[in-house]
Structure 1
């Protein structure tokens, strides 16, 4: 069966410390739990989680959904937001992970990418360079979430097909965000992935679609 590869890039810079990162951890559990209720997703979805602060780290390497074990994601007390470095790592991994179609065999569906940040990239030049490269990869959809008052949605527009804003960063808001992400993945699975930007299911009231 063809796979749907899903990549999540999560901001773990110092400003996410405390309740926000606790809410992200709970939200990720919601995401995985919701997807596991979908038999087709359980068969096809493979997931990678990359975090970024002063450095980018792969905390969940590409893993079938049924085997995903989520780590407890933590943050440093302070530090920069190296989203550009995370995109550079992502590009390397996608090139290794995705099975392309050939004349004799169908490869994976176009992968999905979700990016959540509560600030702006600190490595802005690298970020700009990597945005252009990631846009050429052929993702089925790239969705960015600007979380909290300091996040700049305009920074995400260079990268993403869709940008949403999350005004509050409590556990309820993140639970609804990640539940909605699970619906996007399930919807993409059932539409069987395309290289064109996919339509999104309607977001809940707490999530504002801005782009």
Structure 2
């Protein structure tokens, strides 16, 4: 069995994502999966998992081979909290359970990639602050946070990663550009898998600002 590149996507599905934002996220995800399937390196190694979070965290898509991914429509509640800390706790459980470690007898998976997208900040800030250092200890190849819209708190996301991208708007163009960039980043990760250090990310499109 070939070594896998696990890709985890954490999506904010709180009430503020209702309407065009979540519609755009659904379209963007479908386009991302379609683009990745055009990449032979990605098709061979990438496995995708999606965790959503609002008033609770859910494993929307368990870690699944790219060619077997089938996405239904992601929906959001009318209103509610943003339990990002709970999502990180669920992610820790799944990474510890699903990512194969290298042993003396066999090679494990490549270092996983993590993308976190939110339009706000964690309602469960204490849980987030407890989980963030644990996530950082799990040897991800790269952790990228996307702060979507004017209410997303960059300073909180910086506690998780120094790789942050901004979307000024939350329309279809912005989310489409973000997910195109995610697919390019995953493709870069699949073709450079096994190299030491963080995965080199491609330059983002104009709609996506990289915070340095």
- Normalising by structure 1, we get a TM-score of 0.98
The residue that corresponds to 1:181 in the other structure is: 182
Match of 2:96 in 1: 95
Distance 2:194 2:14 in 1: 32
Shift of 1:182: 0.4
Matched, 1:104 2:115: no
Distance 1:116 1:195, change over 3 A: farther
Q: Distance between the aligned counterparts of 1:38 and 1:199, measured in 2?
A: 17
Q: Secondary structure at the match of 1:101?
A: coil
1:157-192 deviation digits (Å, cap 9, x = unpaired)? 111241000001111111110010000000011111
C-alpha distance in structure 2 between counterparts of 1:194 and 1:32, whole Å: 24
Aligned to 2:53: 52
- Distance in 1 (CA, whole Å) between partners of 2:84 and 2:195 is 26
Q: Which moved more, 1:191-200 or 1:74-83?
A: 191-200
For the 8 Å contact 1:27–1:175, the answer to whether it is kept is yes
1:156 corresponding residue in structure 2: 157
Deviation at 1:204, TM superposition (A): 0.4
For residue 129 of structure 2, give the secondary structure of its aligned residue in structure 1. Answer: helix
In the other structure, the counterpart of 1:77 is 78
Distance 1:75 1:151 in 2: 17
Q: What is the SS of the residue equivalent to 2:51?
A: strand
| Equivalent position of 1:191 in the other structure | 192
Asked whether the equivalents of residues 32 and 183 of structure 2 are also in contact (C-alpha less than 8 Å), the reply is yes
Equivalent residues of 2:188, 2:199 under 8 A apart: no
Displacement after TM superposition at 1:194 (Å): 4.5
Find the aligned partners of 1:195 and 1:157 in 2 and give their Cα distance: 23
Give 1:4 deviation, angstroms.
0.1
Asked whether the 8 Å contact 1:164–1:208 carries over to 2, the reply is yes
Which runs of 4 or more aligned residues in structure 1 lie more than 6 Å from their structure 2 counterparts after TM superposition? Answer: none
TM-score by length of 2: 0.97
Unaligned runs of 5+ in 1: none
Aligned residues: 211
Q: What's the RMSD between the two structures over aligned residues? A: 0.9
Q: Aligned partners of 1:191, 1:185: CA distance in 2, in Å?
A: 10
For residues 1-211 of structure 1, what are the structure 2 equivalents within 5 Å? 1-194=2-195, 196-211=197-212
Distance 1:74 1:189, change over 3 A: same
